[in-house]
């Protein structure tokens, strides 16, 4: 077979790969499997317990109301942890918590969580079904610019087209002593290496950008915005990815590659190469027979 024919066949096979974001139901299930198999939420909760109280120590000084803006608040689990820390820091102070979230399904889950959570007195909730850029456009058009005491963007900057403009805009909304908390994957994580090496071989989509803390800190430096960056260790158990036909492994593969049915649609040589790489020390460690992918997170705190 001539080389050109091999390339054409590979191209045709590759073209059958489609973005995981084209199948919302499957994406949601893959994300759920990722959370079940990773220490992502535990890592965030550890940060909230140990670091957040110091970070928010002055955001409510001399204020009768603390205004918090959650960008991409999802189903609200982490948001409520943040609110509990702010409440503990400023007992009795009214908190106005506004949420910008494009998924109606996630907003519904967030409202259900609030309804069954006690100890939320003094907290007023409002939800806006929109993306961060839609929020930005609405605010600018109406010239309805509020200042916020705490803004957080947790694992959402991947879905923003113009990140520097977004950072600059939200930084301009900070009140006195206010902070922005951003959580993204670390530049030291396996994600960084995976995206850099294989991003161009995987389905390109308009929904998701490959961005890590290394990219963000460079952007913040060029914007002249002050920040602190904390790295926390996290991992994702991908052992099932190396068991043929394992359903959990198949879904984790989809999440890792952002490809719908990756193992069935990827060219065999690409699949074999990624499979081999993901077991290498730069991507994962082996502990007690498990393959743990490096899911390290960065917590970036921006000052007003």
Residue 37 lies inside a defined structural domain of this protein? yes
Asked if 201 and 180 count as a contact pair (C-beta separation under 8 A), the reply is no
Give the domain CATH number at 99. Answer: 3.40.50.150
Task: State the CB neighbour count (10 A cutoff) for residue 88.
Answer: 10
Contact 75, 110 (CB under 8 A): yes
Kindly give, in sequence order, each residue whose CB lies less than 8 Å from that of residue 30, ignoring residues fewer than 6 positions away.
20, 251, 252, 254, 255
Query: Sign of dihedral through CA atoms 127, 67, 117, 73?
Result: positive
What percent of the chain has a predicted confidence (pLDDT) above 70?
94
Structural domain includes residue 51: yes
Confidence of residue 13 (pLDDT cuts 50, 70, 90): very low
Predicted confidence at residue 200, as pLDDT, reads 87
For residue 183, tell me if it sits in a domain. yes
pLDDT classification of 206: cutoffs 50, 70, 90: low
Q: What predicted TM-score, i.e. pTM, was given to this entire model? A: 0.89
**Count of Cβ atoms closer than 10 Å to residue 97 Cβ:** 24
244 located within any domain: yes
Q: What is the pLDDT of residue 224?
A: 97
Q: How confident is the model at residue 15 (pLDDT cuts 50, 70, 90)?
A: low
Instruction: Look at strands 94-100 and 65-71 and give their pairing.
Output: parallel
Give percent helix, percent strand, percent coil of the chain, each to the nearest 5: 50, 25, 30
pLDDT range class, residue 145, cuts 50, 70, 90: confident
Asked whether residue 95 is domain-assigned, the answer is yes
Question: Which of 7-11, 40-44, 251-255, 259-263 is predicted with the least confidence, judged by mean pLDDT?
Answer: 7-11
Q: Say what the pLDDT of residue 207 is.
A: 63
Q: What is the C-alpha to C-alpha distance for residues 27 and 62, in angstroms, rounded to an integer?
A: 44
Give the pLDDT confidence of 95-139 residue by residue, as tens digits: 999 999 999 999 999 999 999 999 898 999 999 999 999 999 999
Q: How does the average pLDDT of the chain come out, rounded?
A: 91
- Rounded to an integer, what distance in angstroms lies between the CA atom of residue 212 and that of residue 121? 36
Residue 15 falls within a domain, yes or no? no
**Count of beta carbons in the 10 Å neighbourhood of residue 244:** 7
Query: Residue 164 and residue 21: Cα distance in Å, rounded?
Result: 24
Kindly list the strands in the beta sheet with 94-100, ordered across the sheet, starting from the edge strand earlier in the chain. Answer: 123-128, 94-100, 65-71, 148-154, 174-185, 297-303, 227-232
The response to whether 72 counts as a known ligand-binding position is: yes
pLDDT band at 177 (very low <50, low <70, confident <90, very high): very high
Cα first-last separation, the chain: 63
Give the structural domain span for 157.
Answer: 21-303
Look at the chain and report how many structural domains it folds into.
1
- Going by pLDDT thresholds of 50, 70 and 90, the confidence category of residue 205 is low
Please indicate, yes or no, if residue 3 is contained in any of the structural domains. no
Spatial distance between the Cα atoms of 246 and 252, rounded to a whole number of angstroms: 10
Between 166 and 5, where is the model more confident? 166
154 annotated binding-site participant: yes
Judged on CB neighbours under 10 Å (0-12, 13-18, 19+), 93 is middle
- Residue 235 assigned as binding residue: no
Picking from 296, 76, 63, the residue whose alpha carbon sits closest to that of residue 192 is 296
Residue 40 is labelled as binding a ligand? yes
Q: Is 295 known as a binding-site position?
A: yes
In a domain, 7, yes or no: no
Of the pLDDT bands very low, low, confident and very high (cuts 50, 70, 90), residue 217 is: very high
Beta-bridge partner residues of 292: 237, 285
């Amino acid at each position: 077979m001539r080389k050109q024919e091999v390339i054409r066949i590979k191209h045709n096979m590759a073209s059958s790969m489609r973005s995981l974001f084209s199948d919302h139901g499957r994406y949601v299930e893959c994300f759920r499997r990722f959370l079940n198999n990773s220490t992502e939420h535990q890592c965030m909760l550890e940060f909230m317990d140990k670091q957040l109280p110091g970070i928010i120590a002055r955001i409510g000084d001399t204020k009768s109301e603390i205004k918090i803006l959650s960008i991409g608040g999802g189903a609200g689990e982490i948001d409520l942890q943040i609110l509990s820390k702010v409440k503990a820091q400023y007992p009795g102070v009214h908190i106005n918590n506004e949420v910008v979230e494009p998924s109606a399904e996630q907003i519904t889950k967030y409202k259900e969580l609030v309804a069954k959570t006690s100890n939320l007195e003094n907290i007023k909730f409002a939800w806006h079904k929109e993306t961060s850029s839609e929020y930005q456009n609405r605010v600018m058009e109406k010239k309805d610019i509020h200042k916020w005491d705490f803004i957080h963007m947790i694992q959402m900057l991947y879905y923003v087209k113009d990140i520097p403009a977004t950072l600059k805009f939200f930084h301009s909304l900070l009140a006195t002593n206010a902070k922005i908390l951003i959580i993204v994957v670390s530049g030291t994580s396996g994600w960084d290496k995976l995206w850099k090496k294989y991003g161009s071989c995987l389905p390109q989509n308009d929904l998701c950008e490959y961005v890590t803390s290394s990219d963000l800190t460079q952007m913040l430096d060029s914007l002249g915005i002050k920040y602190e960056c904390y790295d926390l260790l996290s991992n994702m158990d991908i052992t099932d990815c190396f068991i043929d036909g394992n359903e959990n492994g198949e879904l984790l593969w989809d999440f890792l590659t952002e490809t719908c049915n990756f193992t069935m649609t990827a060219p065999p040589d690409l699949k074999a190469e990624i499979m081999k790489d993901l077991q290498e020390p730069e991507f994962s460690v082996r502990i007690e027979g498990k393959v743990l992918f490096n899911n390290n997170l960065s917590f970036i705190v921006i000052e007003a």
